[in-house]
Amino acid sequence: MNKKSSQSQSQSQNKSADSNSTDTPPSRAPSFDELQTNKGQYRPVAKAVGHWLDNINMDALNYLNEQAENIFYRKGVTFTVYSDAKNIERMIPFDIIPRIIAASEWKQIEAGCKQRITALNAFLHDIYHDQAIMKADIVPASYVYASGCYEPWMMGIELDKPIYSHISGIDLIRDETGKFCVLEDNLRTPSGVSYMLESRNISETLLADIFTETPIMGISDYPNRLKACLASSTSKYDPQVVILTPGRFNSAYYEHAFLAHEMNVPLVHGYDLVVEDSKVYMQGIRGKVQVDVIYRRIDDPYIDPLAFKSDSILGVSGLMSAYRAGNVVIVNAPGTGVADDKSLYPFVPDMIKFYLNEEPILPNIETYQCRKP
């Protein structure tokens, strides 16, 4: 009886295996192909890349990827993943096949990001002043106060120019129809732009023919734009700008050094700065120089041990007193993290309507708030 049962089971398994072998593979979820249409034709904006791909083999592609990796390694373009137990530096991921975005699509992205950042800045100014959006019960006050990034220190501070997030990182995805949607907002200390600039440089070097054949928008002026943005944050003529770094063991230290070099501004540590009479000075070989704008790459809890974490050795003692007195601009402002808190992300479209009286150009991805039944 056991033997018979075993044979029957074996036959059943063989039959099942034969049946599976003739089945069609399960269909994948619909996705958007950025290079080709569903008819297999290259999209107009991707024809140059398509022609290149049609005339190159896999060995050549692998060789180009290896060349790119070698360039990254020689330049030291790395980042650290703190969640990795080994805590080792890694090379930035890079794919030799470029992502193509049409100019018309980019205009929409640019307009959508500008609209979103304008509303988020209005929200930040509001929650630290009149709190109109909270009083209107559009954004629950409990959500704002529960955020670990809400800073009571910022209440009532009148900034020279009411901009809290000068540099923002808006993460985008494409849905199955090709529409761009916002995955999340990064307003605290967004990083990664140096990797984008280095990746473009490598692409221009290794894919010179494609860049010759295709009108591609340049990005090399980013450091100049960033410096102009930082300088515009104060009314002072020809302000002294510095980048405040936590040091070379930070995951994004390569970027801190890269941007300081490209903008020709000092890269400083907390011990390079001192506060006297509510003003910030940089201690140099020729004496002290007053600092007007600090592009800080240190998180809120560590920027001033007198105001936040008392055991921080990364920040500057008394920095918040100078900030409250209006004698220095901190970019991005302390307390901006409340606007990119994940619990407040679903309310950004409502912020756009409330502050700008506009419909969102870039939608959020479909989001469910678990606090709502």
**Residue at 154: amino acid letter:** M
Which DSSP helix (H) or strand (E) runs through 107?
helix 103-127
Q: Which of left, alpha, beta for 351 (phi over 0: left; psi -120 to 50: alpha)?
A: alpha
The per-residue pLDDT for range 69-92, each reduced to its tens digit, is 888 888 877 766 655 556 567 777
Element spanning 67, H or E: helix 58-75
CA angle 41, 46, 48 (to 5 degrees): 105
Read off the pLDDT of each residue in 55-60 and give the average, rounded to a whole number. 94
Distance CA 218, CA 209 (A): 16
**pTM (global) more than 0.75:** yes
pLDDT above 60 (res 189): yes
- Which sequence spans correspond to the domains of the chain? 30-75+192-220, 221-331
Topology classification of domain 221-331:
Rossmann fold (3.40.50)
What is the tens place of the pLDDT at every residue in 138-163? Answer: 999 999 999 999 999 899 999 988 89
Q: What is the band of 344 on the pLDDT scale with cuts at 50, 70, 90?
A: very high
Tens digits of residue pLDDT in 268-320: 999 999 999 999 999 888 889 999 999 999 999 999 999 999 999 999 999 99
pLDDT-derived band at 27, boundaries 50, 70, 90: low
Residues 6+ apart with CB under 8 A from 185: 116, 120, 168, 169, 170, 171, 339, 340, 345, 348
CA gap 310, 301 in Å, rounded? 9
pLDDT at residue 73, as a whole number:
84
3-state helix, strand, coil in the chain (%, to 5): 40, 15, 45
Q: Is the bond leading into 332 cis (omega within 30 degrees of zero)?
A: yes
Contacts of 150 (CB under 8 A, 6+ apart): 127, 144, 335, 338
Confidence of residue 16 (pLDDT cuts 50, 70, 90): very low
DSSP 364: B
Q: How confident is the model at residue 21 (pLDDT cuts 50, 70, 90)?
A: very low
Contact 128, 157 (CB under 8 A): yes
Q: Where are the alpha helices (DSSP H) in 242-288?
A: 253-263
- pLDDT(14) > 80: no
Structure tokens at 173: 């995805």
pLDDT, tens only, 196-253: 999 999 999 999 988 888 889 999 999 999 999 999 999 999 999 999 999 988 888 9
Q: What is the mean pLDDT of residues 93-102?
A: 89
- Using alpha carbons only, how large is the chain's radius of gyration in Å? 26
Q: How do residues 113-125 score in pLDDT, each as one tens digit? A: 999 999 999 999 9
> Pick from 43, 49, 153: which is nearest to 104 by CA?
43
**pLDDT exceeds cutoff 50 at 3:** no
| pLDDT over threshold 90, residue 60 | yes
Q: Residues of the chain with pLDDT > 90: what percent?
A: 72
Edge-to-edge strands of the sheet including 287-290?
273-276, 279-284, 287-290
Nearest to 294 by CA among 180, 189, 219: 189
